Amino acid sequence: MSSALLMFAVFALTSPVFAEERASTTERREEIRQNIEQRKASSTERRTDMQIDIAKRKVENVTRVILATIERLEKIILRIESRIAKIQERGGNTTEAEGYVAAAKENLADAKVAVAAFANLDLSGSTARENFETVRAAVAEAKEHIRVAHKNLMMAVRSLKGPNTGN
């Protein structure tokens, strides 16, 4: 009986210690869970910031490339206009070519407006896919204007090689 009494006394004295350990373990688990949630939130925030930064760099690069293309086409327009002036001096008919060049100038002006529009896009969307789709849709319009301007310039050059231009 004394051993049973002794065990009861030991158990009575140690049970508050076990209760404290269980409470502190629960607190530690909760603290660890909160730390994990904070790390997940901060990593998600960093990832979205990185994706937005990538989308902005893509917009800057595409803007630079399209503006360089527009500039090259404008230089070609100057050369075609110079050629038109020479043909007119010789008495050739250049009305068709002048029409194509005027249309190409309008297309390039429209392309510049489209570039300005997508260069100022708000890329704070919730996902990277939405940002890239927004950029892709905005760039498509500018590309189409450039494509049409290029076609008009090709037609202008072809019309300058016709029979009424003195060549």
Q: What does the pLDDT average to over 128-152?
A: 85
Distance CA 69, CA 113 (A): 14
DSSP secondary structure of 18-80: HHHHHHHHHHHHHHHHHHHHHHHHHHHHHHHHHHHHHHHHHHHHHHHHHHHHHHHHHHHHHHH
The answer on pLDDT for 125 being more than 80 is no
pLDDT in tens, 77-86: 999 999 999 9
Looking at the chain, how many residues does it have?
167
